[in-house]
Structure 1
Amino acid sequence: MNNISTKFIRIGLLVLALTVSNSCKNYLTVEPIDRLTGNNFYLSKADVEANIAFIYSRFFEKINETWVMGAIGEARSGEIKVSPGANNENARRVVEALGRNDMNSAIYSTQYEMYNLAQVTRWKKYYEVIQSVNILLEKLEEGIPGVSESDYVRYKAEATFIRCFTYFWMVRLYGDVVYYTDTYFRESLPRENMVSVLNKCIAELTVQKDLMPWAFDDIAQRGARPAKGGLIALLMHMNMWNATFDFLNTRKYQEVTASLGRELITSGYHKLYPLTDESWAEVMKGRTEESLFEFYRSINYGDNVAALAPFWDHFLRWPYKFPRFNNNMSHCYFTSTYMETIYPEAEADKRRDLWFEDILSDNGQFVLRKYGTNVYASGNEDKNPDITFMIFRYADAILLHAEALAELGNRDDEAKASLNLIRNRAGANPYDGGGGAELKDFIYLERCRELIGESHRYFDLIRTKRILSAQWTNAPMNLDQFNRGAWTWPIDPAARNNNPNMTLNEYWISTGW
């Protein structure tokens, strides 16, 4: 363990030094491979493990720069408001600017500068993750002492997952992206159509899926390192994204998603935990059989999580956050209109009872108790609960499976069966309504209920095109805005440096970038 820690620190210091050094004049100003990792670095399996840990840590650095999970996946749908009298109330009104799609204000107004949202427009660190993966894959192909054939297969599959996940993440933020698998990033390439990028990712990850084990021997790696279930979840999400934007092949993507979902559900390697205080605390802490992929963090391990980074920072008050004198109210709340829509008071649902307090208050009494477990701090320590950053959860994949089946049009009974796995766990009445649009709408609302705060809401609006209707969001856009990319984030103009083929997102240029 000490050897791994030493290697990890050495990589981090080396990359930091390279970041501030004089750079080459190519697209991402990357350094030659021998300077980036050292020709003598990959000498053992421990070196590979340390490098993979560094790659995950590098990605998490982007999440840790600002309120990414809330800003990209939740607030832009318009249902989040700032509590009157909240700490830093004026600055926190950035959530309402995001909910109006007033991105230039949210990103650049001095009123909101504590959020540092300009970092979301900067994609270079994502490409550093991708390049690190490309280097690792090249070294694996060359051969590394101590890495067995089975190790090689697993590491290659995991590295492919990380690269594909990073591209998927960027596609949902920026639309079209520059696609590289070359180690050196030598060429100044233009942005590639996002459907094409995801299809390339789908193709390479599909090959790797069956080479990855369903579970690791070390249960401490569960969820924190993607096993086969994590690869399946990513494939399902990429297919369902392309199902919207590649309309000539929509049915093909839906059929693939349905097949993947069935494979995951019948495998028996993942489960839904009971909705009790104790069991849900386990899920939120991380590394459970319900987790498919997460960024596991632990204060006890010394992991540094910025105060504003967790989604849940905005929706907890005392006694879920300490100290009481400056956490006597939640900073933000979901509007009562929205909460009543997804959790009608007259309908039984354990999630409503377990995950919320003062659910219809429209003020700082609102608590998203879903994230209020594992309270670490006490006394005068001002810290968030010590819980994981969940990316893909088993319940999410089950509902994607139900959605794909409902969209296919001739498999409604199967769709209802998957949907009711989630309803039954929640102690809610099983869905026994009609098929077609009624079933699709219900599955969509079930995703809103089950995945609230998990950074799926806004992306679900986009890929189902419900973003075009005020029935489904407080921040609808028209078809012209949608087609011109009003759902994307602006891209920082620095992305054009040394790349004459690079273009920015047209919508944000035309609206006064």
Structure 2
Amino acid sequence: MKQWYKIGILFCLLLGAGSCKKFLEVKPLDTLSGKDFWKTKGDATKAIGGAYASLLDKFTKGAMYNVGDFRAGNWNWFNKNGFRFLATNRLLSATDDNMNDIPDWGLFYKAIATANLCIDRIPGIQDPNFSTKDKKALVAEARFIRAFTYFYMVRLYGDVPLQTDAYDITLRPREKMLTVMDFCLKDLAGCKDDMVISYDDPTNRAVRGTRGAALALMAHINMWCAGFDKANQQKYWTQTDVLIKELIDLREYKLLEYTPETFKNIFKGRSEEGIFELSLNANYGGQFHFLICQWTLHAPIIQDGLNGNSEITPIVKHLDRIYPRGESDKRMQFWFDDPYGSKGPQKPMFLKFSAITNPITRDYDANFIFFRYADVILLRAEALANLGTRNDEAIAMLNLVRDRAGAKIYTGGGGTALQDAIFYEREKELMGEGHLWYDLIRTGRIGNTNLTENPLTPELMEKGAWTWPISTSAVNNNPLVVRNQYWIQ
């Protein structure tokens, strides 16, 4: 971690912000002091882009985005034997598709270091074309990037060192996860109103932080904390409701119609349903080959070299659990081809991310989507159902998503039945978007063998079996870092 704070003072910056592709090109500063930088509004914007570039670099190293789907184990692995290690919690042996890079949190801390530097330096820029309002907006965006990075890290590693000063390279031990999340919540609460609601440039839609993105992040943090801080669950659930209502009231997002032609646009990214994403769109110069569509599609959609077979397919019993046979649902209709394997066990395809631009090279249009409108609608439904006093509102939220999918409307009561219905709806709606493992963990369902092929007992949870191991390089760079008990060999 310390090395990234040295680099953070010297961090990578963008060549220019004329397009999204340039926004994510990086270039080192010439001097450690940065005396020739931090002069203009353009410099500040480039610096913000440097933080996003470090995040994108981390996510494009390998299959990290989809481990939230794969660790639950609800897939047949056929030609991806390495993924079996994810599904059996043998993460130290998980090396396929660069998964052995996941334990290294260096690039996360590089993004944090860059954000910290932006927070420190942007307010002091003397540029007559850079208003106080615009400075506050960019500083708030940097705080959002920092909070998002910490949120993603705690879901991977649990406790992490908390570094908030741009120039402090003091080695720190891992901070309690709830303490880190509390810092992020307070930080975001203090800056969210400074963030822009939307950008005039459509290429920035959803791929840069906004007030809606901050509200979605705060809601997710609250729901994560509720899973680990039982004594304060009511507070977290109440805050989630308040935050998502505020997001809804922005009127910036909508549930887009699902048709065979239009659903792909949502998962390309930058749609009216997207709240926060990292740009990986072919039209903006991004290509990446470690996303779920690489393994769940085959000819004629992509050239597969496997005689028209998918490398992985959903386990049928889990499809039957969330999509009862005989019930209508556009997602089952549009997102799956031969879901039950009637043409052969490797013939099913998961079509959610099937906007392919080049079948031969297996290039596609698909951003890393972290928060979208359907996700937060269901998160609010979950919070309301857990509170137990506003079940009608929870059901209304649930049915917004079901109605869009042409699915059977929920007509039951509250309590466990409603909570389970919302969990299943999230599993259906967000399949392939990296949520299931984290939902299982935070809701306490991770021990339910009906829901996951990789259940964890309370004892294993206590030892940190739900986390990822921390890399040897991280421990060598910071001897104060102690590994989770489960991963000590």
Using structure 1 for the length normalisation, give the TM-score: 0.88
Using the TM superposition, give the Cα deviation of residue 324 of structure 1 relative to its aligned residue in structure 2, in angstroms. 5.8
Amino acid at match of 1:12: V
Say whether residues 1:462 and 2:445 are aligned partners: no
Shift of 1:183: 0.7
Q: Secondary structure at the match of 2:194?
A: coil
Find the partner of 1:422 among 396, 401, 418: 401
**Could you say if the C-alpha distance between residues 427 and 13 of structure 1 is closer, same or farther in structure 2, counting changes exceeding 3 Å?**
same
Q: Which runs of 4+ in 1 moved over 6 A?
A: 5-11
- Counterpart check, 1:105 vs 2:93: yes
Residue of structure 2 equivalent to 1:117: 99
User: Are residues 267 and 498 of structure 1, via their aligned partners in 2, closer, same or farther at CA, if it must alter by over 3 Å?
Assistant: closer
Which of residues 31, 38, 46 in structure 1 aligns to 2:34? 38
1:353 paired with 2:333, answer yes
Equivalent in the alignment of 1:23: none
Cα offset, 1:326, TM superposition: 4.8
Deviation at 1:187, TM superposition (A): 1.2
Q: Distance in 1 between matches of 2:72 and 2:24?
A: 42
Pairing 1:477–2:456 present: yes
Q: Classify 1:480/1:269 alpha carbon distance in 2 versus 1 (closer, same or farther; 3 Å).
A: same
Pairwise CA distance, 1:9: 9.6
1:276 lines up with 2:259 in the alignment: yes
CA displacement, residues 291-331 of structure 1 (integer Å, 9 cap, x when unaligned): 000112232333242x2x2122111112221x365572211
What residue in structure 1 maps to residue 348 of structure 2?
A: 366
CA distance in 2, matches of 1:331, 1:122: 27
CA distance in 2, matches of 1:318, 1:140: 50
* 1:14 maps to which of 3, 18, 28: 28
CA distance in 1, matches of 2:24, 2:105: 24
Instruction: Name the structure 1 match of 2:311.
Output: 331
Letter in 2 for 1:444: F
Match of 1:302 among 277, 285, 294: 285
Distance 2:106 2:307 in 1: 36
Check the 8 A contact 1:409/1:436 in 2, yes or no.
Answer: yes
Shift of 1:220: 2.0
Q: Distance in 2 between matches of 1:244 and 1:150?
A: 37
- Residue 440 of structure 1 corresponds to which residue in structure 2? 419
Unaligned 5+ segments in structure 1 are: 18-33, 84-88
Aligned to 1:156: 139
Instruction: Kindly indicate whether the alpha-carbon contact (under 8 Å) linking 2:15 and 2:22 is maintained by their aligned counterparts in 1.
Output: no
Q: Deviations over 1:405-463 (max 9, x none)?
A: 00001111110010011011001111111210110011000000100000000000000
In 2, the alpha carbon distance for the partners of 1:433 and 1:10 equals: 48
Q: Which of the residues 83, 102, 122 maps onto 1:95?
A: 83
Distance 1:442 1:489, change over 3 A: same
Q: Distance in 2 between matches of 1:11 and 1:390?
A: 20
Shift of 1:465: 1.1
Q: Which structure has the highest helix share of the two? A: 1
> Map of 1:57-456 to 2, 5 A cutoff?
57-71=53-67, 73-83=68-78, 89=79, 92-107=80-95, 112=96, 115-145=97-127, 146-305=129-288, 307=289, 309-321=290-302, 323=303, 325-326=305-306, 328-361=308-341, 363-372=345-354, 374-378=355-359, 381-456=360-435
After superposing the two structures, state which structure 1 stretch, 472-481 or 356-365, moved more: 356-365
SS state of the match for residue 468, structure 1?
A: coil
One-letter identity of the residue aligned with 1:60: L
Sort the Cα spacing of 1:327 and 1:210 in 2 relative to 1 into closer, same or farther, 3 A. farther
Q: Distance in 1 between matches of 2:122 and 2:87?
A: 45
Shift, 1:253, TM fit: 0.5
Q: Distance in 2 between matches of 1:384 and 1:315?
A: 14
Using a 3 Å threshold, how does the CA distance of structure 1 residues 297 and 9 change in structure 2: closer, same or farther?
closer
| Helix, strand or coil at the partner of 2:275 | strand
Distance 1:3 1:499, change over 3 A: closer
Could you say if the C-alpha distance between residues 170 and 433 of structure 1 is closer, same or farther in structure 2, counting changes exceeding 3 Å? same
Distance apart, 1:129 and its partner CA: 0.6
Equivalent residues of 1:11, 1:51 under 8 A apart? no
The CA distance in 1 between the partners of 2:297 and 2:220, in whole Å, is: 29
**Distance of 2:210 and 2:235 partners within structure 1:** 25
Identity %: 37
Contact residue 77 and residue 475 of structure 1 kept, 8 A: yes
Gaps of 5+ in 2: 1-13
